[in-house]
Structure formats: C-alpha cells, structure tokens
Chain A
Amino acid sequence: MATLEIDRVKKSYGQMDVLKEVSISVGDGDFLVLLGPSGCGKSTLLNMIAGLEDITSGQIRISGDVVNDLSPKDRDIAMVFQSYALYPTMTVRQNIEFGMKIRGVPPEARAKATKAAADMLQMGHLLDRKPSQLSGGQRQRVAMGRAIVREPKLFLFDEPLSNLDAKLRVDMRTEIKRLHQRLGTTIVYVTHDQIEAMTLATRIAVMKDGVVQHFGPPQEVYDRPANTYVARFVGSPAMNIIPASLQVGADGLAEAVVSLPSGEARIAGIPLSAAALKSHAGQKVLLGIRPEHFSLTSGPGLSVHIDVVEPTGPDTLAVFAMGGTEVIARLEPFAAAAGDRLTLAVKQEKVVVFDASSETRLD
C-alpha cells in the first residue's frame, strides 16, 4: 500500500519533449487512470513509474521514497501489460513463480502464494498449461495472477483490456474493479478508453501531448471538464461545444445567446462566478452541454430542426444544428424523427462555459 507522487516529471528524447513537467499525486488505495489518445505520453509515464525508462528531470516518489534511480525490481511494483507478456515457454505456474524464484522465495511459500492467487482468479485448473493454450481472457487472468503474488505497493496496468473482445472487456473490467476493492492496493492504470477510466478510477488524469489536461475525480472530469479537449474526450457521445455570446441576464446571472436556424435563442441561469461573468460579458464563449441535458419541453425553449436520429435502444440520439455546429441530444426512444421541429429545454445548471480563445473552463 502506498502513495504515489509524480513531481514535475519531464521526459525528452533529444530535442523532443514527450512529457512536459507532469505533476500528479494520489493517496493510499487510490485507483489512478491515465487517460489519453496514443502518443499522449501516458505509457511513457507508466514506464517511468515502473523504472523501465529514465526520468529526464523531476522526481517520482513511492510512499515518500524517491525511486528515480532504482531499478524496476527494487521499486516494489507489479505490472500487467497489454500483450500480457507471459513467458511463452513456461507453464502458467512457472510464469507466476518466476519472480518469486528470483527473489529467493522458498518453494512451499511459492506454492502457497500461487494457489491463493489462482483461487482468487479462478484459474486453478490452468496452472499446468502453456500460455499458447489459453484464451485471451485466461491469459489476462494469468498476467494479473503474476502481479498479485508479488504483493506490491503499487499495481501498474498498461492498457490491459485492449486486446480483448468487447464482451470480455466488460467482464475483465469488473474483475479488475473487484480486485481493487478486495486488495485495496494503489493502482495506476493506462487506457485510451474513457469508459474504462470512468468506471474504474478514483482519480483520472486526462493527458494530451505530454501535458495533464485535467486531474480529478471521474465525476468532476465528466461534469466540469477543464477545457474543451477533455470535454470532447470524455463521454460518448461527446459533450457538445457550442459557440455563443455571453450576457448578463435580467436576474443578474449569466445568460448565453445562441443562433438557431429559426433565429436567436437564450439560455438563462448559467452558473458562473461574478468575476468570470464580468470579464467575459458581451464576448464570444463556448458552451459545453452534455447530450443528456437536453429534454423535450412543451414550454418555452430552443426551437430546433432534427436532421438525423440514431436510436440506441435505451434512448434516441437526435442531431440538429445550433450555433453553427452539429449538436446531439439524448432523448427518450421515439421522441424524435428526422425532419421534426421540436422545442428543447436545457438543464442550465449543468451548462459549462469555456473561454473562446483559450478553450479553458470559466468558473
């Protein structure tokens, strides 16, 4: 069990900065997800935590100890890889025991630890098979078993579910969550899948181009993304980003004016601090509205012309034009059909406002 502090960590290859002064810290028992597209530096950061890559500058501390120059084996970590990285010529049992053997764990203790891990992951019957005789999900279990027997301070997961098919991915996701709940060990988990991040994390760090865009609890990342990049990356379909102009409403609260094909419309009562409202009143801004924060209304609202509908089963996604861009609303099944003219209401307390040029959130 451990805390992890990443303190102004940089990584450069020659002139190229892969990570630019990243700082993240998580507490004991946290589940940190590093989320971002490929090439954002998340895997590099994970490898640096593991000790598989050098740190150009800054410090990484595990439980307060600086580990910058420690070799992987001395960091008290375990890691699960995307390709599972099982030793192909060894049986499952030998795979799991390899690390313990190197550390000089006596045979009885090894067998006991292996059995405990196998029981926990329900793979006792697989112990004498070779990795090539296992399915993808079974290999993933073995890789996790190999990590568990180390009893590390820190678990590292590098896109562990990316090679699995959709159904299995959901099952294994639950399995990992259960593992975390049972063991309570601090976990760092890298993925590009925002649903995995939302479902698993206690802390998410959204990364892009070697910079942490937003670091916080999942619900905060979802509700109040730090900038339009995070807003678009998290959630499916993504948060709508709609150009609008900001005004002071009659009630003294923020009010946005958006253009619709039928004319201008107003969204009143947007939560915004007095300072932000004062500095941005009368200016262009970007509104962030989640699809589920639109709803049909019989009262006053936004009059829109539905272009396309995509039924998903539990609800229907309706696409329309607003503020000169394409906007998606999540409505009840059969609530809309292509060509309909509808009036939509917006949950104004959920609307987020971004600066038009820097695209960062205004509070």
Chain B
Amino acid sequence: MATDLRSARRAQNWGRLFIYGSLAAMAAFYLMPLWVMIVTSLKSLDEIYSGSFIGLPKAVTFDAWAKAWGTACIGTKCEGLKPYFVNSLVMVIPAVILSSGIGAINGYVLTKWRFKGSNIVFGMLLFGCFLPFQAVILPMAQVLGRLGLSGTIPGLVLVHTVYGIAFTTLFFRNYFITIPDELTKAAQIDGAGFFRIFFSIMLPAALPIIVVSCIWQFTQIWNDFLFGVSFTAGDSTPVTVALNNIVNVTMGRKQYNVDMASAMIAAIPTLVVYVVAGRYFVRGLTAGAVKG
C-alpha cells in the first residue's frame, strides 16, 4: 500500500515536471521573437553583422530607435515613422469612438426594441464580421474617389467605421441580451423614453463591454494593413504601411536594427493596451466564437 502510494506520487511528480517543462518551453518559443526584436533594435549595425543575433547587446544604443522614429527614409521622405504614427492615431481614435458608439445603440435596439425582421437585420450585419475585404475594396476605392476622400484619413475613418459596425454590434448585442428585458419595461413605466433608457440605464451597465469593444476596435484598426495600403499613399498612410515600406524598400546594407525598432514602434500601442487590459482583449477575441 505504502509503495503504491509512493510510486503514484512519483508518477505525479513526473507529470508535474512534464507539465511545467512543456509550458516553459512553449513560453520561451512565444517570447523569442519579441526578445529578438528588442535586443536587435538596441544593437549597432556592426554588432549585428558581426553575428550577434539572440544575445544581449554588448553596448546598448538607441540610435536605431531614434532613426526609426525620426529620420528613416520612406519613399523619398526621410522623416521616420513619426508622421505615420500620428496618422494612425488620428485615424484610430475617431474610428473607435464612432464604431463602438454605433454598435452600442445597434445592440440596444436589437435586444430591447425588437421588431419584425430584427433577427434578419442582425444576421445581415453579422456576415459583415466575416467579410473578406477583398470583395469590397474595388467598389470602396471608387466610392472614396467620388466622395473626394480617397487617400485621406477621414476616408479611412469612414471605411473602418462601416466595417467595424458588424463586430461592435455583435459585442453589444450579446451583452445586452443578458440584461433582463424587465429592466427596460420598468424604466418605461417610470416614464423613461428610448434615449433616456439607453443613456441612464443601459450604457452605465455596459461598461465592461464598452472596454472590450474599444480595445478590439483599437487593435483591429491600428493593425490594419489592407485598407491602408489600398486606399492611401504617400503622406497619409498609416503606420503599418509605413513599416512595411521601411522594411522592404531600404537600399544598401540592410538596417535590421532600424527594422526591428520600427516594428516595435508600430507594435507598442497595441502591446500596451494588451498588457493593461488583456482580460478585455481576450473577451473580445472569444466573443466571435463563444456566445454571451
């Protein structure tokens, strides 16, 4: 009996070792690219070409960061990523607010004010979550051109808002459906109208999903490349497009440290959001898959 227990415990110990060993190995694999990006961006070009890849830099230098931010050449201009970073910010803030706001009110109507055909409307909106954007970029380019918005930030804001509505509506609809309808009824009897109920009761109760929606939209829009590269050029491109240009169009000796610093600069906003509010980010990710 005693030996049985002991061997069982030993098997358990091996099991725990296997679990932690596997988890640690995978963690190392998932962290490795980030590590490589950071150390490479802090090395001088000579050190990189001398064959230092994964090790710590011998001498830490922020030259690559400074260059990536302020003086790297994109096309014919050598102003670094800074203007494009600003472009992305100017694009992402209104697009996030608009699409989340519209999604909130849509979700409210689709759960608390259902009408004949509201389910069909929701189904139609939902397909927008999974639209391969290649199927709409041609007409969108035409329409943006006619509206005089092609190649502009407001044009991108419009595009991201329109195609963001599907996801934000899904978020809010799935959230509001868990709030009992009786709440709306009670408010109606209290004399509150459509907007009053929305602003005084629904919206304050929806704080978590507002965060989820904003984070999701922020990440999606910041990371977008297809719309940026299709509808903008030159000065008005977002940071992802500029990053791709830096990496692909450098002449002469390839400046890997600047590439990595640029990649880090483009990644930092979404990484910060992820670190600060990872819980909400995960909720957004799984919302498309697991209902409620």
Question: Do A and B touch (CB < 8 Å)?
Answer: yes
Q: In the complex the two chains form, is A50's CB within 8 Å of B185's CB?
A: yes
- Chain A residue numbers with a CB within 8 Å of B187 are 87, 98
For B207, give the chain A residue with the smallest CB separation. Answer: A89
Q: In the complex the two chains form, is A73's CB within 8 Å of B191's CB?
A: yes
Residue B180 interfacial (CB < 8 Å): yes
Considering only residues 81-104 of chain A, those with a C-beta below 8 Å from chain B are 81-85, 87-90, 98-99, 102-103
Measured CA separation A85–B192 after assembly (Å): 14
Measured CA separation A78–B201 after assembly (Å): 18
With contacts A52-B185, A88-B205 known, is A73 near B190, CB below 8 A? Answer: yes
For A98, give the chain B residue with the smallest CB separation. Answer: B190
Residue A216 interfacial (CB < 8 Å): no
- Chain B residue numbers with a CB within 8 Å of A73 are 188-192
Dominant secondary structure at the B interface: helix
Query: How many residues of chain B are within 8 Å of chain A by beta carbon?
Result: 16
Residue B117 interfacial (CB < 8 Å): no
- Contact flags B163-185 to A (C-beta < 8 A → 1, else 0): 00000000000000000101101
- Chain A residue numbers with a CB within 8 Å of B188 are 51-52, 71-73
Residue A77 interfacial (CB < 8 Å): yes
User: In angstroms, how far is the closest chain B Cβ from the Cβ of A248?
Assistant: 56
Residue B196 interfacial (CB < 8 Å): yes
- Chain B residue numbers with a CB within 8 Å of A47 are 185
For A71, give the chain B residue with the smallest CB separation. Answer: B188
Q: Which of A72, A83, A87 has the most CB of B within 10 A?
A: A87
For A79, give the chain B residue with the smallest CB separation. Answer: B189
Q: In the complex the two chains form, is B185's CB within 8 Å of A83's CB?
A: no
Q: In the complex the two chains form, is B190's CB within 8 Å of A102's CB?
A: yes
Q: In the complex the two chains form, is B182's CB within 8 Å of A82's CB?
A: yes
- Chain A residue numbers with a CB within 8 Å of B51 are none
Residue B186 interfacial (CB < 8 Å): yes
Considering only residues 233-288 of chain B, those with a C-beta below 8 Å from chain A are none
Residue B55 interfacial (CB < 8 Å): no
For A104, give the chain B residue with the smallest CB separation. Answer: B191
User: In angstroms, how far is the closest chain B Cβ from the Cβ of A61?
Assistant: 19
- Chain B residue numbers with a CB within 8 Å of A72 are 185, 188-189, 191
Query: How many residues of chain A are within 8 Å of chain B by beta carbon?
Result: 25
Measured CA separation A47–B186 after assembly (Å): 11
- Chain A residue numbers with a CB within 8 Å of B190 are 73, 98-99, 102, 146
- Chain B residue numbers with a CB within 8 Å of A98 are 187, 190, 192, 200
- Contact flags A43-82 to B (C-beta < 8 A → 1, else 0): 0000100111000000000000000000111000111011
With contacts A73-B190, A87-B201, A89-B201 known, is A81 near B196, CB below 8 A? Answer: no
Measured CA separation A103–B191 after assembly (Å): 7
Q: In the complex the two chains form, is A81's CB within 8 Å of B191's CB?
A: no
User: In angstroms, how far is the closest chain B Cβ from the Cβ of A13?
Assistant: 10
Q: In the complex the two chains form, is B204's CB within 8 Å of A78's CB?
A: no
Measured CA separation A52–B185 after assembly (Å): 7
Measured CA separation A88–B176 after assembly (Å): 13
Considering only residues 103-125 of chain A, those with a C-beta below 8 Å from chain B are 103
Q: In the complex the two chains form, is B182's CB within 8 Å of A81's CB?
A: yes
- Chain B residue numbers with a CB within 8 Å of A83 are 180, 182
User: In angstroms, how far is the closest chain B Cβ from the Cβ of A299?
Assistant: 57
For B203, give the chain A residue with the smallest CB separation. Answer: A89
Q: In the complex the two chains form, is B191's CB within 8 Å of A85's CB?
A: no
User: In angstroms, how far is the closest chain A Cβ from the Cβ of B181?
Assistant: 9
Measured CA separation A98–B186 after assembly (Å): 11
Q: Which residues of B contact A (CB under 8 A)?
A: 180, 182-183, 185-192, 196, 200-201, 204-205
Q: What are 22 A-B contacts with C-beta separation under 8 Å?
A: A52-B188, A71-B188, A72-B185, A72-B191, A73-B191, A79-B186, A81-B180, A81-B182, A82-B182, A83-B180, A83-B182, A84-B182, A85-B180, A85-B183, A85-B186, A87-B183, A89-B201, A90-B204, A98-B187, A99-B189, A102-B191, A146-B186
- Pairs of residues from A and B, 4 with the lowest C-beta to C-beta distance, nearest first: A99-B190, A73-B191, A89-B204, A85-B182
Q: Which residues of A contact B (CB under 8 A)?
A: 47, 50-52, 71-73, 77-79, 81-85, 87-90, 98-99, 102-103, 146, 158
Could you list 5 further interchain pairs (A-B, Cβ under 8 angstroms) beyond the known A87-B186, A98-B200, A99-B189? Answer: A72-B188, A72-B191, A84-B182, A87-B200, A87-B201
